[in-house]
Amino acid sequence: MKKYRLGQSREAQDLDHREAYSRERGGESKRRQRHAERLETAIEAHDAEALLRLPDAGPWMHLPEATLIQRHSQWVDLETEDRALMRATLGGKLKGVRLVCGDRVRYSAAPVELDDPSQPPPTRSEGGSPEAQVVAVMPRKSLLKRGGIDDREPWQLICANADELWICAAVVDPPLRPGLLERAQVLALDAGLAFRVLVTKRDRASKKDTLPELDPLREQGVAIHETSALKGEGLEPLAGLLQGKVVVLLGHSGVGKSTLVNALHPDITLRTGGLTKFGTGKQTTTAARWLPLAAGGTLVDTPGIRSLSVRGFNRTLLARVFSEFPPEVLEDPMAFDPEDDATLDRLNLDYPERLQSLQRLWQEMDDRNPNQNVWR
């Protein structure tokens, strides 16, 4: 019996076996041949690299430029060069292109129709009808993305053109999970963004609690900032670090990302949420939003994430996240048994539990997405 890995549909599994299909093609039925051809087309449609490719903006450089500050299902909100807000639809040439918060776009101010006329136009409270059409996307300075959750979507884009990623983790509610921070570090390295950890809700743990779970990261030289938006503690250095930069805030739902934006910038009042009885957030923020601050710098508030997949990322990034490991381990972490005391003694690791984290990420990166043509 065939085994199906998590997240793989039966069809997807079949894609791995397309060589077997072509071998037997001589005698196979027409129906099977057609099926095999359909599957091959499906692979092309989900080519991971193609998803990130942008059409040439060259012919559109005479048009005005704007920043995409928020995506909606049918339209986008733009901030123009003179900082006016404008709603726009996407031009036909951009069909199939994934736009993301932070994209620099060229737009034409001509009157436009919604793509799907059966959908009601946005109401006044939703920001009114679109007044422009996005016709081109400028090359991205950086692109923060995570691995997709299913085979049809190899990447989930988070933000374009950012400079830094600040991963937010609460001391409690929801609990601090160092594994998420390691994953975020991979994403930041891949996108070429500077990386900082923001410990939020510091007021919820005693001052004596030194948060030892963060020691491995401290020893790696990762910048860690302890903050309490409630008490206004630890915010001043952050305001300084923001100057002239675009910073993405990422973290589980309910860790206090929007509260932090509100505290760092008194002119902005984002909706913040409570917690469920399980101590998890309520997904209060529903879309990434680009927020230029009057005091300088830009914050990007994002919806709470459940997990950060690293599927499809390059394994060489792990050598930088787990730099305390000797090269022999980084070359082939699966060759070492994390349960074997003799192995751990020989490696003389300060944080042996990190071997398991390394192995988990190593395997996940290679969890080949069967719908990807070029995947590394």
Ligand X SMILES: Nc1nc2c(ncn2[C@@H]2O[C@H](COP(=O)(O)OP(=O)(O)OP(=O)(O)O)[C@@H](O)[C@H]2O)c(=O)[nH]1
How many residues bind Mg ion (CB under 5 A)? The answer is 4
User: Quick check: 174 binds ligand X (CB under 6 A)?
Assistant: no
- Choose, by CB under 6 A, the member of 70, 200, 298, 371 that binds ligand X: 200
Q: Shortest gap between Cβ of 197 and ligand X (angstroms)? A: 15
Cis amide prior to 174 (ω within 30 degrees): yes
Among 8, 142, 285, 369, binds ligand X (CB under 6 A): 285
Nearer to ligand X, 99 or 275 (CB): 275
φ/ψ of 227, rounded to 5, equals -135, 155
Q: Does 229 bind ligand X (CB under 6 A)?
A: yes
227 or 258: CB nearest Mg ion: 258
Count, residues in the chain: 376
Residue span 58-97 as binding mask against ligand X, x where in contact by CB under 6 A, dash where not: ----------------------------------------
Which does residue 256 touch among ligand X, Mg ion, none (CB within 5 to 8 A, set by kind)? ligand X
Cα–Cα dist 191/167, whole Å = 14
Residues 6-35 vs Mg ion: string with x where CB under 5 A?
------------------------------
Q: Comparing C-alpha atoms, which of 194, 198, 193 is closest to residue 180?
A: 198
- Rounded Cα distance between 31 and 33, Å, is 5
Q: Is residue 207 a contact residue for ligand X (CB under 6 A)?
A: no
Q: Does the protein bind ligand X through residue 250 (CB under 6 A)? A: no
Return the residue of 11, 47, 131, 203 that touches ligand X, per CB under 6 A: 203
The amino acid at residue 72 is H
* Residues from 255 through 284 that contact Mg ion (CB under 5 A): 257-258, 284
Cβ closest to ligand X, residue 234 vs residue 292: 234
Stretches 24-32, 57-65, 109-117, 277-285: which one binds ligand X (CB under 6 A)?
277-285
161 binds, among ligand X, Mg ion, none (CB under 5 to 8 A by kind): none
Distance CA 163, CA 247 (A): 6
Which residue ranges make up the site for Mg ion (CB under 5 A)?
Answer: 257-258, 284-285
Which residue ranges make up the site for ligand X (CB under 6 A)?
Answer: 200-201, 203-204, 228-230, 251, 253-259, 272-275, 281-285, 303-304
